[in-house]
Amino acid sequence: MDTKISVKNLDAFYGKNKVLKNISIDIPRNKVVAIIGPSGCGKSTFLRCLNRMHEVVGGTITGSILVDGEDLTKTDPVLIRKRLGMVFQKPNPFPTMSIFNNVAAGLRFNGVRNKKVLAPIVEKSLKQAALWDEVKDNLEDSGVNISGGQQQRLCIARTLAVDPEVILMDEPASALDPISTSKIEELIFELKKNYTIVIVTHNMQQAARVSDFTAFFYMGELIEYDKTTKIFTNPANKKTEEYVTGRFG
């Protein structure tokens, strides 16, 4: 397996409370890995550990997180968040910015100001996010004056604009209607050609549809990690089987 992210013996804490316990997992390049498990089991915390956002909310970690062999626990968090982009549960376009400026925000933060440089990157990112045809004539409109599904794709375009290597998605479709959810899932399928994607989802059907590998978390522990088809048809652990068949969670 061509590993993009290698997590070894990861523990995560809020104060003295240990919320992730000895997580070791290898995430392959250009694949989609779904993180599933009941509420409060550490899924979103794991995602935030990958791009060092766990520390922003007062958490601490031990263990190692390697991306292409580089230990992210010893790297500038700002650089890490450029390499590992994050898409949140609820669309969060910047309300005072236009669609164009929403996509360009990260680039401007990194010092790119020239609109002639920004324009083709914004267009490419919106095309990658399957949104360009819907907004190309309204780029100066506010980023919040479009539908929820379009806003989420706008946030994906904003993430893509800074040219990340990994896209982290924390329940990206949970606040969306079925049609918008379907568009996000189609987009994930396209994006994995160029990016490694880690998605947290409560939706078992979504995990089965979009991911190549699935990790089942329970009470801060990684219970099972395997190819998605195996997790959903022939899991090795009884607790995994109970969860994916809906007996708890």
- Token pair 């390499």 in the structure block, residue: 83
Three-state secondary-structure class, residue 239: helix
The strand pair at 32-36 and 84-87 is best described as unpaired
Domain 1-75+212-243 and domain 87-192, same fold? Reply is yes
* Superfamily designation of domain 1-75+212-243: P-loop containing nucleotide triphosphate hydrolases (3.40.50.300)
Question: What is the CB neighbour count within 10 angstroms for residue 8?
Answer: 14
Report the distance separating Cα 16 and Cα 36, nearest Å.
25
Q: State the average pLDDT over residues 84-98.
A: 94
Dmax (CA) of the chain: 57
Q: State the average pLDDT over residues 71-94.
A: 91
Residue 166 has pLDDT above 70, yes or no: yes
Q: State the average pLDDT over residues 58-83.
A: 91
Cα-based distances in Å from 9 to 65, 96, 106, 163, 236:
9, 42, 32, 29, 21
* Superfamily designation of domain 87-192: P-loop containing nucleotide triphosphate hydrolases (3.40.50.300)
- 115 contacts 74 by C-beta, under 8 angstroms: no
Contact residues for 136 (Cβ-Cβ < 8 A; gap 6+)? 123, 126
pTM score over 0.85:
yes
Q: Which amino acid is at 42?
A: G
Report the distance separating Cα 143 and Cα 145, nearest Å.
6
Report the distance separating Cα 129 and Cα 235, nearest Å.
34
What the block records as the tokens of 213 is 């590998």
pLDDT in tens, 196-238: 999 999 999 999 999 999 999 999 999 999 999 999 999 999 9
Residue extents of the structural domains in the chain: 1-75+212-243, 87-192
Looking at the DSSP bridge assignments, the partners of residue 227 are 213
pLDDT in tens, 114-128: 999 999 999 999 999
More confident residue, 55 or 22: 22
Q: State the average pLDDT over residues 139-168.
A: 96
